[in-house]
């Protein structure tokens, strides 16, 4: 057996020469588990102390510590290098090319139909109207009979629709919601509601007509409601929607469920009333039908016409969207062409 000092030198040389060929993080870990482990020759050197004479013990201890220190320092240096190299390799492998184009997501836009529904609803809500949801499928009773349009009434000719059965049909007008609201709220006037929704009619589709379209119904029932209330409400509505400069005009008209009945025009925004291609030379554009609720309707829907009165109106939603945004063909509203939809910005 070599003498203790030679054993120290040997253990050190063996550890260092093995370290020389360990380069990767894994190799260095394996090396450490062998050469710096508790049972490794290098770690056991202090055990040789027994063989050392007392006066040399201190010097021998230092030799062992220095040897161990030298090996550990050499290992730390290599480990640091290996860790750095491993990190660099990882960063390189995982690098992202920032010059690549990003993924493109199409974000939806609100259809102008809904933009004006929201806008009109907000205007009426600000005047204290509640918003009622009607139903697309109605009975003949609600869509016609309760609105003073009996079976043989000629007004039915203009409102032919899609029948789902003998008495079931797709509603031709949101006015059906008037009857529901009055019957549901019997004797709980005042009623002040709007009802936006889809309507259906047998119509030939063209630039201004569609077999499916939207209306916003309005209904107010209380004691002492007059045409002046109707006019004031609609004037405020038009001013909020189109601006303070616009005027309204009431023309006498006919609807079976209102008496008197009117059609309401708004002064043309383009020519200010002088006459142009938009208003077809008249200076006015028709926007809705309205009137005082007919006594027969009030009676059928549970309100005594001697006590209560009311007004109602029906606005075409697409009509308003077309005027509001200068849309030339109603069909654009339904075809969902993103190039068209992108032109509209929410307020
Ligand atoms: N329902 C009518 C239509 O569709 C419009 C209207 C509603 C008229 C309310 C008067 C009162 O033409």
Same domain for 185 and 75: no
Q: What's the CA-to-centroid distance between 243 and ligand 1, angstroms? A: 24
Domain co-membership, 123 together with 74: no
Domain boundary among 93, 124, 140: 93
Any ligand 1 atom below 6 A from CB of 175: yes
Looking at residue 1, what is its pLDDT? 60
Q: Tell me, using a 6 A CB cutoff, whether residue 291 lines ligand 1.
A: yes
Give domain status of residue 102, yes or no.
no
Average pLDDT over residues 238-249: 95
Residue 206 placed within a domain: yes
- Please tell me whether residues 89 and 116 are part of one structural domain: no
Q: Is the same domain home to 39 and 175?
A: no
Whether residue 256 has its Cβ less than 6 Å from ligand 1: no
Instruction: Provide the domain limits for residue 11.
Output: 4-93
Which pLDDT belongs to residue 115?
94
185 and 266 in a single domain? The answer is yes
210 within ligand 1 shell (Cβ under 6 A): no
Q: Tell me the residue ranges of DSSP E strands in the chain.
A: 130-131, 137-139, 168-170, 191-200, 212-222, 248-255, 258-267, 284-293, 309-316
Q: What is the pLDDT of residues 150-159, one digit of tens each?
A: 999 999 988 9
Q: How far apart are the first and last CA of the chain?
A: 95
How close is the Cα of 54 to the center of ligand 1, in Å?
119
* C-alpha span between 143 and 138 (Å, rounded): 6
| Of residues 102 and 197, more confidently modeled | 197
Ligand 1 within 6 A of CB of 230: no
Residue 280 lies in a domain: yes
Residues 288-319 have pLDDT tens digits of 999 999 999 999 999 999 999 999 999 999 99
Please tell me if the CB atom of residue 290 comes closer than 6 angstroms to any atom of ligand 1.
yes
CB of 268 closer than 8 Å to CB of 234: no
pLDDT (0 to 100) of residue 347: 54
Question: What atom of ligand 1 comes closest to residue 147's alpha carbon?
Answer: 1
For residue 8, pLDDT over 60 is answered with yes
Mean pLDDT of the chain: 93
Q: Do 54 and 120 belong together in one domain?
A: no
The reported pLDDT for the residue numbered 314 is 98
67 & 121 share domain: no
Cβ partners under 8 Å of residue 219, min gap 6: 177, 178, 181, 182, 191, 192, 193, 194, 195, 293, 310, 311, 312
**Same-domain pairing of 251 and 300:** yes
**CA separation for the pair 13, 7 (Å, rounded):** 10
Number of domains in the chain: 2
* The predicted structure's pLDDT at residue 278: 82
- For residues 105-137, b (16+ Cβ closer than 10 Å) or e, as one string? eeeebebbbbbbbebbeebbeeeebeebebeee
**pLDDT tens column, 57-88:** 999 999 999 999 999 999 999 999 999 999 99
Residue 116 maps to a domain: yes
Q: Which of 59, 93, 127 is the last residue of a domain?
A: 93
Task: Output the residue whose Cα is nearest ligand 1's atom 4.
Answer: 173
pLDDT level of residue 117 (50, 70, 90 thresholds): very high
What is the pLDDT averaged over residues 24-34? 94
For residue 103, being part of any structural domain is answered with no
168 with 41, same domain?
no
Does residue 258 have its Cβ closer than 6 Å to ligand 1? yes
Q: What is the CATH number of the domain that holds 204?
A: 3.30.930.10
Please report the pLDDT score of residue 342 as a whole number.
Answer: 84
What pLDDT was estimated at residue 24? 93
In a domain, 252, yes or no: yes
Verify that 149 and 271 share a domain, yes or no. Answer: yes
In a domain, residue 75? The reply is yes
Is residue 310 within 6 Å of ligand 1 at its C-beta? Answer: no
**Which two three-digit tokens encode residue 212?**
């499916």
Q: Mean pLDDT, to the nearest integer, of 90-107? A: 87
| Lowest model confidence (mean pLDDT) among 273-277, 286-290, 330-334 | 273-277
More confident position, 96 or 54: 54
- 83/121 same-domain check: no
> Do residue 229 and residue 300 come from a single domain?
yes
Residue 91 makes CB contacts below 8 A (sequence gap 6+) with none
Mean pLDDT to the nearest integer, 323-330: 90
Report yes or no: 8 and 2 within 8 Å, Cβ to Cβ.
no
């Amino acid at each position: 057996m070599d003498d203790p000092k030679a054993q120290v030198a040997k253990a050190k040389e063996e550890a260092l020469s093995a370290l020389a060929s360990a380069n990767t993080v894994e190799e260095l870990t394996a090396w450490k588990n062998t050469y710096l482990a508790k049972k490794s020759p290098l770690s056991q050197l202090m055990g040789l102390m027994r063989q050392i004479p007392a006066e040399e013990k201190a010097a021998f201890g230092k030799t062992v510590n220095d040897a161990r220190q030298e090996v550990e320092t050499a290992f730390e240096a290599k480990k640091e290098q290996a860790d750095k190299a491993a990190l660099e390799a990882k960063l390189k492998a995982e690098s992202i090319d920032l010059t690549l184009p990003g993924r493109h997501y199409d974000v939806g836009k609100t259809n102008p139909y809904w933009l004006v529904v929201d806008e009109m609803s907000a205007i009426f809500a600000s005047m204290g109207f509640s918003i009622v949801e009607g139903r697309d499928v109605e009975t003949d009773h609600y869509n016609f009979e309760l609105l003073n349009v009996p079976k043989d009434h000629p007004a039915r000719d203009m409102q032919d629709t899609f029948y789902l059965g003998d008495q079931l049909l797709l509603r031709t007008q949101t006015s059906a919601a008037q009857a529901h609201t009055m019957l549901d709220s019997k004797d709980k006037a005042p009623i002040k509601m709007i009802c936006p929704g889809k309507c259906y009619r047998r119509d030939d589709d063209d630039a201004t007509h569609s077999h499916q379209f939207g209306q916003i119904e309005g209904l107010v029932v209380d004691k002492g409601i007059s045409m002046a209330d109707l006019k004031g409400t609609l004037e405020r509505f038009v001013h909020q929607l189109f601006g303070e400069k616009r005027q309204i005009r009431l023309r006498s008209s006919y609807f079976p469920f209102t008496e008197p009945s009117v059609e309401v025009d708004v002064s043309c925004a383009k020519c200010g009333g002088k006459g142009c291609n938009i208003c077809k030379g008249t200076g006015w554009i028709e926007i809705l039908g309205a009137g005082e609720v007919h006594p027969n309707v009030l009676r059928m829907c549970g309100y005594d016409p001697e006590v209560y009165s009311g007004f109602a109106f029906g606005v075409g939603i697409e009509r308003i969207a077309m005027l509001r945004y200068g849309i030339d063909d109603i069909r654009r509203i339904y075809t969902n062409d993103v190039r068209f939809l992108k032109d509209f910005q929410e307020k």
